Amino acid sequence: MAALRAFLTLAVCLLLAHQTFAKNDAPCQRSKWNNGYSTFQKRHIREGMPKSMDQNEWEKYIRNHGGCDRPTQSFLQPEDRDRVRDVCTNKGGKRFKENLCISDKPFTFVTVRSEPGTCGIRSIRKETKHLILACEVIENQCVPVHFEGNPNNIRPDNNARGCQDPEEKGQAPSSGMSWLWMCSALLVIVLYVRN
C-alpha cells in the first residue's frame, strides 16, 4: 500500500510539473507568464536602436541596454509594434505549429550575433522574412511572447487557419492532462484519508 501511495504521489507531481512547465499546444491560449509580452518587447522592439549596421554602435547599444548574455538577438522596428502584435490575430497571422503563428507578410529586422558570454559582435544582418512568434493570451489579449528563428525562410500556408481561430481562443492548455491530474489527485487524497 505504501508503494502504491508513493507511486500515485509521484504521478501527481509529474502531472503538476507538466501543467506548470509545458508550453501551450496552440496559439492564443492563456499564458503561464504574465510578463511574457513585456519581456518580448524589451528583447525585440526597443527604442533607440542604431540605424546603421556599424558593429561598434551595436556593441555599445547591446552593452548599455542589456543582452550580452544572448548570442543571437533579433530587433524589430518600434514603428512595426502594431503589425507585430497583429501576427497573433487573424488579421496578420496564420497558425504555424504548437503555439506558434507566422506572419502573413514579411518584416524587415536586424539580427545581431555576438560571441557567447561577451558583447563582442560577430555579425549584423538586416533580414526580411516572415516572423514566427509564440502567441499567448495575457490580460485577455493574444500577444507575442517569443520570437522563433526562421532560418529556412518559411512562408505561411495560405490554407492555414488564422492565428486567433475562434475554436481555440482562450482554451486552457492541455485540458486532457488537467482531467488526468485532477483524477490522480483525488485518488491520492482518497488513499490518504482511508489510512
Q: Percent of the chain having pLDDT more than 70?
A: 72
Distance, CA of 131 to CA of 142 (rounded, Å): 16
* Residue 112 falls in which region: left (phi positive, over 0), alpha (psi -120 to 50) or beta: beta
Least Cα distance to 80 among 46, 50, 124 occurs for 46
**pLDDT tens by residue, 121-134:** 999 999 999 999 99
**pLDDT tens by residue, 2-29:** 555 544 454 443 444 444 445 688 999 9
Kindly state the DSSP code that residue 17 receives in the 8-state scheme: H
Query: For the whole model, what pTM was predicted?
Result: 0.74
Q: Which CATH number fits domain 23-174: 3.10.130.10, 3.90.650.10, 3.40.50.970, 3.40.50.2000?
A: 3.10.130.10
Q: Is residue 59 within 8 Å of residue 118, measured between CB atoms?
A: no
Residue that the C-alpha cell 506548470 belongs to: 20
Mind listing the pLDDT tens digit of every residue in the chain (195 residues)? 555 554 445 444 344 444 444 568 899 999 998 999 999 999 999 999 999 999 999 999 999 988 888 999 999 999 999 999 999 999 999 999 999 999 999 999 999 999 877 889 999 999 999 999 999 999 999 999 999 999 999 999 989 999 986 554 444 444 444 444 444 544 445 455 565
